[in-house]
């Protein structure tokens, strides 16, 4: 019975001691080296702090950073990744909620880490790894562990401007890693290419697939996402056969034309999650690498990365929406209408999730936890937690779930029309001359604002959308940009766009 993710590490280190677990351009760690650093760093922490406490990790995105995560776990604590490029003010907001027991850092970020650590201890991870493993202490910590203990806390942007810490337990991750192996055929022979930052939950697919299965993950350099020839070269040189990217990254690669020149034919699995994947660019990928399995996945951070998936098994027109499919194993999805009743055929409702995948709630934030994690309204007989995602969905004629966008992306336009902005975006991204874009709603002016990149102009685009959308769904205003602002997770930064396009600076 697996109750701790370190059980995976122990087993993989025993089976494949000299195999590379994680690597980047400069360094690699084998499974035995990863385990050794985790135990050394864990022994260092165990001598200084108690268990079930937060350990903040302020390090560059490297294999050493992952070893620091597992050092925190070896000490019976949970890790909290911090983006080294985030503003100091945001770190302060996070620390005001988190109150970390300790901060691990690298040489590059030591000065900043010590400045923000406050009363918490702070040490270079490389120095902590000089500690000899304390076998007795590590064994006692493992013996006291239960699978509901926290594994990590990821801080997401809160609607109030205060970051929310999503808590994920070992049991959540064990279920997820097992599902990835069983449903998506990820095993010891896979070589994964990591795109997602470690502060983003999509990275957990790469991290814990590697830990469980004894496969290898290469951290793809950021420059590869700007220079796509370099990307193709990196994928080929490292024999990468599995990628899990946000759609924006896949869209940019498809739009660059590199798939026609140097397609990554070694890829066997192309997975994506985090945004809507437009079929126009997905079809470019499918034509360029027809032998790969493509999987559209869905899930907020609060449900351990993914709760629904669709393995693409048929052809789609460029302007067709892509299903998110069905619930993952050991997960239940409900689509509830405004009366908290299951939706009927074709009816839109809020997507809600139940199962062991659910977060334990928001760290040190009971008020927000109570709003999002509620009693299942269909069950009045015993306590059953349900997470309200705030996302709209419906079932298609095949029984597959169709994601329609955020609940707060549903607008009331011209006094009577209820519109999902995601439907307009699907039409927008199917236009061949549009490389990327999104839609915003200006409530004060009752205007739909279309923001896009591409080789076209406002008038031409408006005419093309008239052939795809009813008149009441057509954008009222168009904003063409040379480049869309992106978040650290490589998603379109809608908050920044909203403040600039609707706030009046564009």
At 211, give phi and psi (nearest 5°).
-60, -45
Residue 257 has pLDDT above 70, yes or no: yes
> What are the phi and psi torsion angles at 72 (to 5°)?
-60, -45
Q: Compute the chain's Rg from CA coordinates.
A: 23
| Same domain flag for 432 and 496 | yes
Q: Which residues contact 5 (CB under 8 A, 6 or more apart)?
A: 70, 73, 151, 170, 173, 174, 177, 208, 211
Give residue 161's pLDDT: 57
Residues 24 and 134 in one domain: yes
- Mean pLDDT of all residues in 406-422: 74
Pairwise pLDDT comparison (157 vs 143), residue with the higher score: 143
In a domain, 465, yes or no: yes
Q: What CATH number does residue 493 fall under? A: 3.30.300.30
The predicted structure's pLDDT at residue 417: 66
From 410, 451, 453, select the one nearest 435 (Cα to Cα).
453
CB 345 within 8 A of CB 396: no
Q: 390: which residues sit within 8 A by CB, 6+ positions away?
A: 350, 406, 407, 408
**What is the CB-side half-sphere exposure of residue 160 using CA atoms within 13 A?**
7
- Scan for tokens 């597959």, then name that residue: 400
Q: How far apart are CA 231 and CA 253, in angstroms?
A: 9
Q: For residue 209, tell me if it sits in a domain.
A: no
* Arithmetic mean of pLDDT, 432-453: 92
Pick from 4, 66, 9: nearest CA to 32: 9
Q: How is 166-211 classified by DSSP, letter by letter?
A: EEEEHHHHHHHHHHHHHHH---TT-EEEE-S-TTSTTHHHHHHHHH
Query: Is pLDDT above 60 for 308?
Result: yes
Stronger pLDDT, 328 or 502, i.e. the higher one: 328
Residue 47 CB neighbours (<10 A): 11
Residues 37 and 95 in one domain: yes
Query: Given 407, 441, 473, which residue is the final one in a domain?
Result: 407
pLDDT exceeds cutoff 80 at 433: yes
- Assess whether 46 and 160 both reside in one domain: yes
Confidence of residue 504 (pLDDT cuts 50, 70, 90): low
pLDDT given at position 23: 98
* Per-residue pLDDT at 159 exceeds 50: no
341 and 453 assigned to the same domain: no
How far apart (Å, rounded) are the C-alpha atoms in residues 122 and 104? Answer: 6
Task: Quote the domain boundaries for residue 480.
Answer: 414-502
- Given 387, 407, 427, which residue is the final one in a domain? 407
Indicate whether 397 and 434 sit together in one domain: no
With a CB cutoff of 8 Å and minimum separation 6, the contacts of 409 are 392, 420, 421, 422, 441
**Parallel, antiparallel, or unpaired: how do β-strands 308-311 and 293-298 relate?**
antiparallel
In the chain, how many domains are there? 3
Any domain includes 148: yes
362 shares its domain with 438: no
Whole-number average pLDDT of the chain: 94
Give the pLDDT band (50/70/90) at residue 413.
Answer: confident
Which secondary-structure segment (H or E) carries 296? strand 293-298
- Residue 468: pLDDT band (50, 70, 90) is confident
Residue-wise pLDDT for 82-125, tens only, equals 999 888 888 988 999 999 999 999 999 999 999 999 899 999 99
Structure token pair of residue 27: 């360094």
Q: Is residue 224 part of a domain?
A: yes
Cα–Cα distance measured from residue 336 to residue 339, given in angstroms and rounded to the nearest whole number: 7
Q: What is the 3-state secondary structure (H, E, C) of 213-242?
A: HCCEEEECCHHHHCCHHHHHHHHHHCCCCE
Residue 145's pLDDT is 98
* 214 lies in some domain: no
- Which of 53-62, 235-244, 389-398, 415-424 shows the lowest per-residue confidence on average (mean pLDDT)? 415-424
Q: Quick one: 36 and 121 in the same domain?
A: yes
Q: What is the DSSP letter of 19?
A: S
CATH number at residue 249: 3.40.50.12780
pLDDT at residue 194 is higher than 60: yes
* Torsion sign, CA atoms 438, 249, 332, 344: positive
Pairwise CA distance, residues 64 & 132, whole Å = 18
* 489: confidence class by pLDDT, cuts 50, 70, 90: confident
Residues 425 and 390 placed together within one structural domain of the fold: no
* In-domain check, residue 190: no
Q: Which two tokens stand for residue 456?
A: 């076209």
> Does the pLDDT at position 505 exceed 60?
no
Q: Is 154 helix (H, G, I), strand (E, B) or coil?
A: strand
Domain end marker among 389, 407, 425: 407
Q: CA separation (Å) from 368 to 65, 148, 166?
A: 30, 21, 11
Residue 47 lies in a domain: yes
pLDDT computed for residue 87 by the predictor: 83
Model confidence band, residue 158 (pLDDT cutoffs 50, 70, 90)? low
Rounded Cα–Cα distance for residues 412 and 156 (Å): 28
- Residues 401, 419, single domain; the answer is no
pLDDT at res. 212: 98
Q: Please check the confidence at residue 401 and state whether its pLDDT lies above 60.
A: yes
Does residue 234 have a pLDDT over 60? yes
Q: Are residues 350 and 262 in the same domain?
A: yes
- Beta strand residue intervals within 49-204, DSSP E: 54-58, 78-81, 102-105, 121-124, 150-156, 164-169, 191-194
334, β-bridge pairs = 352
Answer yes or no: is 307 within a domain.
yes
Confidence of residue 419 (pLDDT cuts 50, 70, 90): confident
Residues 276 and 384 both lie in one domain:
yes
């Amino acid at each position: 019975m697996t109750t701790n993710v370190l059980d995976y590490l122990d087993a993989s280190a025993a089976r494949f001691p000299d195999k590379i677990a994680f690597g980047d351009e400069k360094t690699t760690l084998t499974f035995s080296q990863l385990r050794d650093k985790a135990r050394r760093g864990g022994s260092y922490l165990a001598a200084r702090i108690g268990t079930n406490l937060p350990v903040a990790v302020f390090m560059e995105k490297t294999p050493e950073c992952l070893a620091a995560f597992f050092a925190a776990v070896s000490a019976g604590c949970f890790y909290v990744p911090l983006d080294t490029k985030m503003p100091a003010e945001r770190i302060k907001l996070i620390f005001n909620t988190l109150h970390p027991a300790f901060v691990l850092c690298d040489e590059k970020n030591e000065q900043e880490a010590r400045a923000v650590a406050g009363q918490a201890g702070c040490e270079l991870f490389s120095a902590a790894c000089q500690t000899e493993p304390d076998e007795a202490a590590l064994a006692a910590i493992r013996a006291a562990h239960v699978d509901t203990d926290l594994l990590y806390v990821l801080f997401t942007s809160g609607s109030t401007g205060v970051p929310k810490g999503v808590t994920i337990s070992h049991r959540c991750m064990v279920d997820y890693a097992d599902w990835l192996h069983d449903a998506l055929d990820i095993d010891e022979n896979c070589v994964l290419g990591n795109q997602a930052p470690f502060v983003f939950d999509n990275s957990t697919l790469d991290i814990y697939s590697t830990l469980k299965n004894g496969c290898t993950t290469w951290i793809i350099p950021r420059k590869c996402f700007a220079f796509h020839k370099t990307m193709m070269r990196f994928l080929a040189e490292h024999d990468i056969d599995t990628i899990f990217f946000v759609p924006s990254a896949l869209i940019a690669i498809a739009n660059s034309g590199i798939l026609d020149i140097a397609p990554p034919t070694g890829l066997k699995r192309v997975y994506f999650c985090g945004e809507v994947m437009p079929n126009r660019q997905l079809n470019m990928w499918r034509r360029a690498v027809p032998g790969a399995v493509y999987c559209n996945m869905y899930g907020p951070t609060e449900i351990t990365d993914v709760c629904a998936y669709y393995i693409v098994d048929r052809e789609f027109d460029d302007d067709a929406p892509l299903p998110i499919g069905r619930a993952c194993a050991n997960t239940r999805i409900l689509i509830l209408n405004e009366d908290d009743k299951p939706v009927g055929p074709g009816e839109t409702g809020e997507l809600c999730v139940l199962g062991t995948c659910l977060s334990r709630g928001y760290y040190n934030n009971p008020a927000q936890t109570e709003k999002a994690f509620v009693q299942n309204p269909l069950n009045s007989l015993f306590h059953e937690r349900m997470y309200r995602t705030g996302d709209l969905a419906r079932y298609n004629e095949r029984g597959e779930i169709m994601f329609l966008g955020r609940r707060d992306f549903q607008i009331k336009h011209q006094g009577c029309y209820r519109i999902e902005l995601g439907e307009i975006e699907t039409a927008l991204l199917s236009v061949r001359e549009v490389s990327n874009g999104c839609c915003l709603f200006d409530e004060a002016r009752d205007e739909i604002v279309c923001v896009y990149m591409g080789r076209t102009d406002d008038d031409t685009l408006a005419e093309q959308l008239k052939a795809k959308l009813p008149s009441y769904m057509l954008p009222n205003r168009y904003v063409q940009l040379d480049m869309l602002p992106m978040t650290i997770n490589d998603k379109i930064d809608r908050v920044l766009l909203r403040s600039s396009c609707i706030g009046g600076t564009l």
